[in-house]
């Protein structure tokens, strides 16, 4: 059964107040086309669960985030996402910050329908001080080791971006890292996949090895082809991070007037308008 859908249908199925997981890592393989569409929607009051990057920044700038659960918010070559910084400094969002390992165990717990998973990650750090709701647990075995009981990071919806997918929702990554996207797909009530290119099921193994088939159709509610839909984040081997555009984005974020102009030029229309505006900007820069 085909699960091919559109960006508009995916975002139209979401509701304000939802907990939404976003795959990828920092400024790498983020479902930016879907994020841009959320920014242009009436959705609000969202809880976002992610290893954050410019996805978080755009959603914060658009006033969509009530609470963020994350281990970091970075654009990799730019250490701290500027819109996230502003939102936190202005007290506009709530933040639950975990150690990277703790965050992963939270995803694992949700993926396996467990209330929590124990881990030594976070012990001896300030993570427990800034998250007083976290509890510790002792091993019931002879070692008696104290561990952090990381609660499951359950989500209503997960959004992930893959290199390839078929019409039934099987999805494939071809880059250097899966970035936990399979855990998001298993942990969420439903998952939507955007991809660089839709291919026939029989052609998936022509694109990459069997182990690159990261996400099963069993966990996918809908799939949409969004060429360059991860822009400006990296999506190797299809495209690298657009460092020049990322710098333009970060520079604009530093000034309200510049950001208003950036938003009007690049973010005021649909995905086709965004991609067209980026092409025009690139042509102007090349002159």
> Does residue 163 have a pLDDT over 90?
yes
pLDDT tens-place string over residues 12-52: 999 999 999 999 999 999 999 999 999 999 999 999 999 99
> Does residue 159 have a pLDDT over 90?
yes
Question: Which pLDDT score, from 0 to 100, does residue 162 have?
Answer: 98
List of E strands, 152-187: 155-165, 171-172
pLDDT tens-place string over residues 129-157: 999 999 999 999 999 999 999 999 999 99
Per-residue pLDDT band at 286 (split at 50, 70, 90): very high
pLDDT tens-place string over residues 43-80: 999 999 999 999 999 999 999 999 999 999 999 999 99
C-alpha 93/C-alpha 66 separation (Å) is 5
Q: Domain segments of the chain: what residues?
A: 7-98+153-239, 117-151
Question: Which pLDDT score, from 0 to 100, does residue 10 have?
Answer: 98
7-98+153-239: CATH superfamily = Glutaconate Coenzyme A-transferase (3.40.1080.10)
The answer to whether 56 touches 70, Cβ cutoff 8 Å, is yes
Question: Which pLDDT score, from 0 to 100, does residue 147 have?
Answer: 97
Show the tokens assigned to 58.
């755009």
Question: Which pLDDT score, from 0 to 100, does residue 106 have?
Answer: 98
Instruction: Classify strands 155-165 and 188-198 as parallel, antiparallel or unpaired.
Output: parallel
Instruction: Classify strands 135-138 and 146-151 as parallel, antiparallel or unpaired.
Output: antiparallel
Question: Which pLDDT score, from 0 to 100, does residue 35 have?
Answer: 98
> Does residue 287 have a pLDDT over 90?
no
C-alpha 73/C-alpha 234 separation (Å) is 15
Query: Of 217, 186, 270, which Cα lies nearest the Cα of 7?
Result: 270
Per-residue pLDDT band at 235 (split at 50, 70, 90): very high
Counting every residue, how long is the chain? 287
C-alpha 212/C-alpha 158 separation (Å) is 19
pLDDT tens-place string over residues 185-222: 999 999 999 999 999 999 999 999 999 999 999 999 99
pLDDT tens-place string over residues 255-273: 999 999 999 999 999 999 9
The answer to whether 15 touches 41, Cβ cutoff 8 Å, is no
C-alpha 152/C-alpha 186 separation (Å) is 12
3-class SS at 27? coil
The answer to whether 125 touches 136, Cβ cutoff 8 Å, is no
C-alpha 159/C-alpha 193 separation (Å) is 6
Q: What is the pTM of this model?
A: 0.97
Q: Is 41 exposed, middle or buried (0-12, 13-18, 19+ CB in 10 A)?
A: middle
């Amino acid at each position: 059964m085909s699960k091919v859908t559109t960006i508009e249908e995916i975002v139209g199925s979401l509701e304000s107040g939802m907990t939404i997981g976003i795959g990828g890592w920092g400024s790498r393989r983020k479902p930016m086309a879907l994020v841009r569409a959320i920014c242009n929607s009436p959705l609000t009051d969202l809880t976002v669960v992610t290893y954050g990057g410019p996805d978080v920044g755009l959603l914060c700038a658009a006033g969509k985030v009530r609470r963020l659960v994350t281990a970091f918010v970075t654009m990799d070559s730019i250490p701290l996402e500027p819109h996230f910084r502003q939102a936190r400094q202005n007290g506009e969002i709530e933040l639950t910050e975990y150690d990277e390992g703790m965050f992963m165990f939270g995803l694992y717990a949700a993926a396996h329908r467990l209330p929590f998973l124990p881990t030594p990650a976070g012990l001896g750090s300030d993570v427990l001080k800034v998250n007083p709701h976290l509890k510790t647990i002792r091993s019931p075995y002879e070692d008696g080791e104290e561990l952090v009981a990381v609660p499951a990071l359950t989500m209503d919806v997960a959004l992930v971006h893959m290199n390839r997918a078929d019409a039934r929702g099987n999805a494939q990554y071809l880059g250097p890292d899966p970035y936990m996207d399979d855990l998001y797909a298993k942990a969420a009530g439903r998952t939507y996949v955007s991809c660089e290119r839709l291919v026939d099921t029989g052609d998936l193994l022509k694109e990459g090895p069997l182990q690159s088939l990261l996400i099963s159709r069993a966990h996918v509610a809908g799939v949409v082809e969004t060429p360059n839909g991860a822009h400006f984040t990296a999506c190797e081997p299809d495209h690298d991070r657009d460092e020049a555009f990322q710098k333009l984005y970060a520079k604009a974020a530093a000034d309200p007037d510049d950001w208003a102009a950036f938003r009007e030029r690049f973010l005021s229309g649909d995905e086709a308008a965004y991609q067209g505006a980026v092409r025009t900007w690139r042509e102007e820069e090349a002159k």
